[in-house]
Structure 1
């Protein structure tokens, strides 16, 4: 009895395969990606989703609001100091206060935070004295180490380079059965760095307790989001590595706190990493060396100013009867005074020794370095600069 020939047989070993037997592009099965969840609790008009509204006390709500106002006051004062020649180049965080504050608000003392260079609002919340951060941005190396008992990595100017070490900290927690987590923050531009993809893969494979927060602020310096990636959004990056991912309104403080809180809890309980894409907007400069008017329109910035995270939270607090205009003004004034006090402490600090750079090269200074240091001291002396 004859058997029916299979409709798509494989060629025998050693037999030439005809073109009709090879798979073509039309034979491939398209990958169906799951829908990425989008989270918003508080919209730009200060209206809250009552089904998701968190239950915070009045004191907690005012504390959250004050943290954002303080971050903005620090940002503005730093910009003034930089324009006066009293501060180094830095990266303003104007418009991203909810994203920055929200990603560290749920963290415990034992948790670690790996900030980007635009995260000083979060660092202030984590216990960094403002004068310490000013020292850092003025270029003094003693500003980089975090304060005692603050589990923070120093930020890195090299884009995305801190993400892999953050995963390493998380893997160390797993090995030690340490029930804490790591939150690492990076921008949409940094997501194009290979190290970030490596970090996502390592975290997924080893179930590292890491919360990745990709702050999509619309611009990688002068490159808009749509020219950075072909995918619709950055949260999809997690799908390839089997990392649960979510998009969050990054100007919604409640949404940022909820997303980070749930991801951190999952991580601490052995559930592995999560990727949060926080959609926000860089309303100011990339850094103080940047002129954004060259590559973007004022109308785009004006549209995002209406979505200001601080403004929407004010509207919410007023609707709830938590805060009045007089209290808003009082908080703003108090935050300004805090920043001015920190500025004065910074100005009173002893200047660094400009020759320290030679001392950090080796345990014992080489003869060549000694000669270079002497030459540098002579140049400083010729310019009237002393070490006093």
Structure 2
């Protein structure tokens, strides 16, 4: 089994002090995790209030998502799964658009023009080949931009996963494959879907590097992701990063995980909480205080409430909007369907 990269241990202790970044970056990493955790917790509340649709929580996976997304720059590509709201928000997706998406509103179906962020992928693993295509397009244009795509452990059993790794390796595509091994593919544990115990080793079959990281250590995730992104930018090709974490939350807000797992394992992973881990480290070094925590919480609450107000102000969608954001230029079939909808509305 590959070595598990860990820089800060579960108790907030420095395991690899030589790999610790500057205090300013440590604070940035902590703030990013606290920001997306605040969103995740508030999103669940919005659902319970009937103000948001079915939502897949990512609580407990903040390090895996924020640490990797922060390694990118604005000109890079990000391909998230449905559980990667945290990565998308860290990368730059406006909170109100994320809320709109989970309200099934067309206002959340498209991204800002200057953000190379794809809408959340619900089909399993289809984003991996797409990311390879985007990375190769950047390579053909002569840029040093890269693509980063996320997947769960269940997605690594799909054909798209293997085809993408082979394609990227053969063509030396500047792409970083993030494989978030959170222990579950809905109700199926990783140990049931595959006999493999180290998913990062699958990279060897395609001649590309594979890295295994403690997915609850944001410093380690950021370190591995930045190294992979740097390799891709310099023309050294793709990397597969397995972040070992756990889905402590339900699959979605409509799921009851108690039907297929005990809470004992969940409690064990709660003790490895990524946010508390970095906070403990920062406090131990005198880099964080309770006063700053209170101020940050107030800042995050104000940001979220303002975003909810903007999301609430979006106009109600028209039926024809379901056909928009499919192609840049509508196809003849889409135009006919649009006319049919308008005719039915008039009639």
TM-score (norm 2): 0.93
1:190 lines up with 2:161 in the alignment: no
Unaligned runs of 5+ in 2: 325-329
CA distance in 2, matches of 1:366, 1:285: 38
1:38 lines up with 2:4 in the alignment: yes
The secondary structure found in structure 2 opposite 1:66 is: helix
Paired residue for 2:210, among 225, 242, 245? 245
RMSD: 1.9
Q: Are the equivalent residues in 1 in contact too, given 2:153–2:182 (CA < 8 A)? A: yes
Give the equivalent residue in structure 1 for 2:48.
83
Paired residue for 2:313, among 322, 345, 348? 348
Give the equivalent residue in structure 2 for 1:47.
13
| Deviations 1:130-179 (CA, angstroms, capped at 9, x unpaired) | 00111111112231222121121222111111111100111122222221
Q: Are the equivalent residues in 2 in contact too, given 1:159–1:190 (CA < 8 A)? A: yes
Larger radius of gyration: 1
Q: Are the equivalent residues in 2 in contact too, given 1:160–1:193 (CA < 8 A)? A: yes
Q: Are the equivalent residues in 2 in contact too, given 1:355–1:377 (CA < 8 A)? A: no
Q: Are the equivalent residues in 1 in contact too, given 2:71–2:226 (CA < 8 A)? A: yes
The secondary structure found in structure 2 opposite 1:364 is: helix
CA 1:96 to 1:235, structure 2 compared with 1: closer, same or farther past 3 Å? same
- Using the TM superposition, give the Cα deviation of residue 258 of structure 1 relative to its aligned residue in structure 2, in angstroms: 0.5
CA 1:314 to 1:366, structure 2 compared with 1: closer, same or farther past 3 Å? closer
CA distance in 2, matches of 1:197, 1:79: 34
Task: Give the 4+ runs in structure 1 shifted more than 6 A.
Answer: 358-361
- Using the TM superposition, give the Cα deviation of residue 336 of structure 1 relative to its aligned residue in structure 2, in angstroms: 2.0
CA 1:161 to 1:347, structure 2 compared with 1: closer, same or farther past 3 Å? same
| Deviations 1:175-202 (CA, angstroms, capped at 9, x unpaired) | 2222121111111011111111100000
Whose helix fraction is larger, Structure 1's or Structure 2's?
2
1:311 lines up with 2:276 in the alignment: yes
TM-score (norm 1): 0.83
Unaligned runs of 5+ in 1: 1-34, 379-388
| Deviations 1:334-356 (CA, angstroms, capped at 9, x unpaired) | 21221122112111221111353
CA distance in 2, matches of 1:164, 1:54: 34
CA 1:366 to 1:286, structure 2 compared with 1: closer, same or farther past 3 Å? closer
Give the equivalent residue in structure 1 for 2:327.
none
Paired residue for 2:167, among 198, 202, 208? 202
1:365 lines up with 2:336 in the alignment: yes
The secondary structure found in structure 1 opposite 2:57 is: coil
- Aligned length in residues: 341
The secondary structure found in structure 2 opposite 1:80 is: helix
The secondary structure found in structure 2 opposite 1:153 is: coil
Give the equivalent residue in structure 1 for 2:37.
72
CA distance in 2, matches of 1:279, 1:217: 6
- Using the TM superposition, give the Cα deviation of residue 330 of structure 1 relative to its aligned residue in structure 2, in angstroms: 2.1
Structure-to-structure mapping, 1:24-35, within 5 angstroms: none
Q: Are the equivalent residues in 2 in contact too, given 1:155–1:162 (CA < 8 A)? A: no
Structure-to-structure mapping, 1:213-292, within 5 angstroms: 213-292=178-257
